[in-house]
Amino acid sequence: MVDKKEIEHLGDLVKVDLREPEKYIKQVEQIIKYFDRLDTVEFDSDDTLRNEVDSENLRDDKHEPYDISLIDHLKKDQNNFIRAPKMV
Give Cα separations from 16 to 22, 74, 86 (angstroms).
15, 25, 13
Is the confidence at residue 30, as pLDDT, over 90?
Answer: yes
Higher pLDDT residue, 27 or 72?
27
pLDDT at position 46 is: 63
Is the confidence at residue 45, as pLDDT, over 80?
Answer: no
Query: pLDDT of 54-67, one tens digit each?
Result: 888 888 888 888 88
Q: Write down all domains in the chain, each with its CATH number in brackets.
A: 1-41 (1.10.20)
- Residue 2 near residue 25, CB atoms below 8 Å: yes
pLDDT at position 35 is: 94
Higher pLDDT residue, 76 or 60?
60
